[in-house]
Amino acid sequence: MWHVSTCISAQCHIDEPFYISMETMYEKAIKEIIKHGQKDTFQKRCLKIVLDTLDIGWGFHDTLSEIYEDAFQ
């Protein structure tokens, strides 16, 4: 989670493989959060990451939104 949020806030925009990597890490982190029963603890942080991607291309925001909604809605 830290790596994904840090790269988003630092505007580490590179190329499509970079975004795919970030999406994969975000999804894995959420799966671990759920596995360990920590949804309530991390939901706001996970949502902030999604909201911080509103202006990023490559369909990145859409993918993170889908991952978030599948996990928390």
Taking CA atoms, 20 is separated from 35, 49, 59, 60, in Å, by 22, 15, 10, 8
Q: What is the pTM assigned to this prediction?
A: 0.81
* Count: domains in the chain: 1
Residue 49: per-residue pLDDT: 95
> What is the residue range of 21's domain?
16-72
pLDDT class for 8, splitting at 50, 70, 90?
Answer: low
Q: Which amino acid is at 8?
A: I
Instruction: Please give the structure tokens belonging to residue 69.
Output: 């909604």
Express each pLDDT in 24-50 by its tens digit: 999 999 999 999 999 999 999 999 999
- Is residue 32 a part of any domain in this protein? yes
Total Cβ atoms within 10 A of residue 36: 10
pLDDT class for 17, splitting at 50, 70, 90?
Answer: confident
How far apart are alpha carbons 54 and 36 in whole angstroms?
A: 28
Of the ranges 18-22, 40-44, 53-57, the best mean pLDDT one:
40-44
- Is residue 65 a part of any domain in this protein? yes
Instruction: Please give the structure tokens belonging to residue 23.
Output: 């999406």
Return the DSSP state at 12: -
